[in-house]
Structure 1
């Protein structure tokens, strides 16, 4: 599947007009000055250098060597192959720009991005003039001699892309789907039935999936559009943080109703619409997410494929998964938009729901201050809404972080671990199919040394929603620690690749797992991509990696920082290793690195004793 660039906004996939140099410099200054652009000073210098060089007509000079010597002050003998500083900082810059344009930069007039594979930036106007859109449409969809594609009235065209054209046998598709019955445009749109208030749960974002428009040839195109609508709706409904209206409501909405009317009469906050277009063997699916209150396009994407290469069902599953992940996941477009909405002080009573949005911000940073604030916020939320399963699940994870990370521990009984288990089990009793509740239970069981049951719960959660990248990352982390390293790392890498708002925490876990595989160079490169300097264990993992690589100065700095934050950690070293379910071999390797870094590890640890006694590794 070949799909277009996705910035999470109505950006480069639609805009072909080039901003002026003055506009680009204004946007550059806005970026450099913004506290929301998560970049250190040298990465900001990197950004300014490549933008100014491009504007000056010297884009061909932007190579790893010139960046390394002119921005990062490497000597003239700099070798980009042996010193990956430019590649690492470019990756950090790309991620920071992507995160910035998801929420704080959602309305910025110019998008600056750095495509993978090079260091030359691209500049795009977010909202091109109408003439440019029309011109793009003509270039994108020229009349075909035998089968012209009509212009789409539903979704604006995206940038041109090549379709896949590998000659294979045509796939036969035979599907029977009930036809849609549209209401007349003059009739009022019926409101969906009100949800029972007895559940005592605050309302989150409400989404309606409009039937995908059929813009293709022949009867198969109608079947494709209907099937894709059903699949997208089904996958999005698995995200329990969303309220997805049923197909009956979406079918009752006139196809030409504008989003403001839909918001007014149905009360939804977001509208997902799309189209399916066919010509011969070529299939194009387009989709976009609209803010129903303002009509603004928050996200758009186009996907091209060839029905001779893959059958429609394979294409349908692939496209629906990509759409559901981009729109519905915890770090996805709706979550980012709602976070911005609540931060802007919307007049609605969103305190309880806002707590759940802030939780994901905490997960990305793991700072003690945000932990304490969100724990208090969620405790107020469940006190007010005792049936709010998602809030109980998140509260369970925050209680667990008291125990495993030592964040804001509360003395007395019940212990943090006990509170974590109790809150997770309550979340699952309230909503047995809530993926966040299953994730919380998996984690609580795992860190109370019940790994087999924990991983069984994790498998059940992934089966319920394999598109939830927050869950994939956490399940992958637990598998890796339990010594299923290959699958755990694969799931972590999948979660990071599919999630533009991913947590640095998962890169840190990958680094730790690479360390346990004795891939110290890879572990060090991964840790360079993590910016969680307020998170104590970041410094422990950094220290043992540096120590194994003989980087004594860096190891000492990281060691001292960790000991400042967690001075009593090594008093219970064996307990800390056991609660994370490391086998004897892994526990011994952690102790080895910790000693090399200068940590006060016991002379003989439980893991080393077990290893010497011949206790098998799990």
Structure 2
């Protein structure tokens, strides 16, 4: 049974452990909470490892025993080749982290699963919070602190935050004695979220301001390309702290601050993002709501999502600022994060030239940082673009599609809940004719981060290609509304969706809003839209540009249609437009042969 001995040291203090009954009560509370939204088998996994630990059998908790006793694998289960335990453990860790940042923020007992194993850790929250943090006032003597070590760019968030908690908070608390060492900014962009300030008149406003800070932090933290300082760090930043001081002491390049002003029926939330080095305001937005129409918690969630999407998403405010900051560097000198920024720039243009440069950059970054999950996910997408777009193909084995699949699976092994890795695996599976499995993974990724417009648009595109054009269009329109900076790509894909739904005038209006001149398929979509509207000069111009960029495309028409998982009736519709545009299609395509040239009726 669980005893009361100290099992770990925390800043020189013994951790007090909760009793077995307290742990079981917390487990029941946790699994019953609607905020702890995970599949039943993940809850079964959690209950199994908790009960085994409480029964004194923690040594038995290995991948093999979990696989056979929780996930019903047989005695031949091989954890190296079947990653189910690693994937579910990653999902469970992140779900626990989210729960204790939101609904479980006041729970007296916490359950966590440290990385490197599956044995859970039980803590009394009071004991866990008491040790490492110095109070904001009075200030500690910073002269007695050890000098900070240079931070390696790719250290995990836990190591970074440990350094911050030990050094940064003391510096921010206002000590004037002794030297004030600075913390060097990491390569990955770091964001500090200061507590939202209550400027309202109603009693609920203070609670709302605190809750909004927590919710924004939780939403922004879902974007893996960004390092968000932890809640303890955020809470200990003094009100009105200077952004430049936060940069010097915590290494946070960006600072998000906000205020809440509530009256009897009206609520205004204002947020702004600062470049901490220069003090420049990069973004500012106000959100007005009527408390007679919507409740505080609904408004809180909505505002938090809008703020997170605006500042943290791919192509968002921080991405654009980082792109300007790093874009002038030569490719050979870019580190892994800068390569990630170049990847998103490539995704806005989809040109063969930028594809080759970004692929080479990320391959060097992955070789130097083999544990960089996002880098492998991005490489997977770039390898896939060799196959589906014909960009910079490499001869020999393994083929581009195999390299894409391998890189995606490697990213998943490194970080099973990484949204970009899940997106890459979704795309690789889709283009290897496994659409059902691909879309299932895509839905799982969206559940992890519904704010990620890159992911929403990709899932919407694939939904359409399997015939769910209306659902795909809705996802793409959601991405466009949240992320107008990437509108060329969204308008181009939406034009294709409108064409497939025979909304040719709408398709024309959308394709005219896109400008993807270096992307071959953009010209194909434009040509078939114009052809259906009998706009012959425009169709001819688009046709000529497409054939210039991909002259051999129609030699492999059946393969191109098949690998994109089009339904026969949709393949016939594409062929119809292509013939009207004058493209060199076969006399009769496979889909037309199967259905006599007449699309099946539904």
Structure 2 partner of 1:509: 493
Where 1:501 maps in the other structure, the secondary structure is helix
Aligned residues of 1:331 and 1:500 also touching (Cα < 8 A): no
How do residues 176-187 of structure 1 correspond to structure 2 at under 5 angstroms?
183-184=136-137, 186-187=139-140
Cα offset, 1:217, TM superposition: 2.4
Distance change (3 Å), C-alpha of 1:439 and 1:422: same
**d(CA) in 2 for partners of 1:591, 1:552:** 17
Indicate whether 1:415 and 2:399 are aligned: yes
Q: Distance in 2 between matches of 1:256 and 1:358?
A: 35
Other-structure match for 1:539: 523
Distance 2:398 2:424 in 1: 18
Distance 1:268 1:485 in 2: 42
Stretch deviating more after TM superposition (321-330 or 262-271): 262-271
- Please name the residue that 1:484 is paired with: 468
Q: C-alpha offsets along residues 517-572 of structure 1, whole Å, 9 cap, x if unaligned?
A: 11111111111111111111111111111111111222122212211221111111
Listed one character per residue, the Cα deviations across residues 211-265 of structure 1 (whole Å, up to 9, x for unaligned) are 1111222431111011101100000000000001110111122223211111111
Distance 1:526 1:604 in 2: 30
2:355 to 371, 383, 386: 371
Structure 1 partner of 2:545: 561
Closer/same/farther in 2, CA of residues 187 and 198 from structure 1, 3 Å limit: closer
TM-score by length of 1: 0.68
Paired position in structure 2 for 1:600: 584
Shift of the 344–604 alpha-carbon distance from structure 1 to 2, 3 Å rule, reads closer
Q: Matches of 1:306 and 1:182 in 2, distance apart? A: 38
Matched-pair contact (CA < 8 Å) for 1:270–1:291: yes
**Secondary structure in structure 1 of the residue aligned to 2:585:** coil
1:256 and 2:240 correspond: yes
Match of 2:418 among 434, 439, 456: 434
Checking the alignment, whether the CA contact within 8 Å between 2:153 and 2:187 is kept in structure 1 is no
Match of 2:432 among 448, 471, 488: 448
Q: Secondary structure at the match of 1:502?
A: helix
- Cα offsets for 1:566-603 (capped at 9, x unmatched): 11111111110011110000000111111111111111
Work out the number of aligned pairs and report it: 444
Which residue among 586, 593, 612 is the counterpart of 2:570?
586
Higher relative contact order (CA 8 A, sep 6+): 1
Q: Which residue of 2 aligns with 1:326?
A: 310
Q: Within 5 Å, which residues of 2 pair with 1:115-264?
A: 183-184=136-137, 186-187=139-140, 203-264=187-248
Aligned to 2:92: none
Match of 1:604, SS state, is: coil
Give yes or no for the alignment of 1:552 onto 2:536: yes
Q: Distance in 2 between matches of 1:409 and 1:337?
A: 32
* 1:68-92 per-position Cα deviation (integer Å, ceiling 9, x unaligned): xxxxxxxxxxxxxxxxxxxxxxxxx
1:355 — aligned with what? 339
Instruction: Label 1:613 to 1:567 Cα distance change in 2 as closer, same or farther (>3 A).
Output: closer
Give the equivalent residue in structure 2 for 1:470. Answer: 454
Residues 592, 598 of structure 2: 8 Å contact kept: no
Cα displacement (A) at 1:192: 12
Partner of 2:5: none
From 363, 378, 383, the counterpart of 1:394: 378
Matches of 1:365 and 1:451, distance apart in 2: 26
Equivalent residue number for residue 293 of structure 2:
309
Aligned residue number for residue 276 of structure 2: 292
1:136-190 CA distance string (max 9 Å, x none): xxxxxxxxxxxxxxxxxxxxxxxxxxxxxxxxxxxxxx99969999612745799
Q: Which blocks of at least 5 consecutive residues in structure 2 are unaligned?
A: 1-102, 108-125, 161-185
In 1, Cα distance between equivalents of 2:545 and 2:153:
51
C-alpha separation in 2, matches of 1:354 and 1:387: 16
Distance 1:187 1:289, change over 3 A: farther
Tell me the equivalent position of 2:482. 498
Q: Given the superposition, is the C-alpha separation of residues 321 and 297 from structure 1 closer, same or farther in structure 2, using an over 3 Å criterion?
A: same
2:65 alignment partner in structure 1 = none
Q: Which residue of 2 aligns with 1:530?
A: 514
Say whether the 8 Å CA contact 1:410–1:416 is kept in structure 2. yes
Matched residues in 2 for 1:296 and 1:199: separation?
28
2:292 paired with 1:339: no
Q: SS state of the match for residue 595, structure 1?
A: helix
Q: Is the 8 A contact 2:339 2:358 kept in 1?
A: yes
In structure 1, what is the equivalent of residue 505 of structure 2? 521
CA distance in 2, matches of 1:199, 1:609: 56
1:609 counterpart = 2:593? yes
Task: Indicate how the Cα distance of structure 1 residues 296 and 188 shifts in structure 2: closer, same or farther if over 3 A, else same.
Answer: farther
Whole-Å separation in 2 of the counterparts to 1:247 and 1:341:
27
Tell me whether 1:384 sits opposite 2:368 in the alignment: yes
1:394, distance to aligned residue in structure 2 (A): 0.8
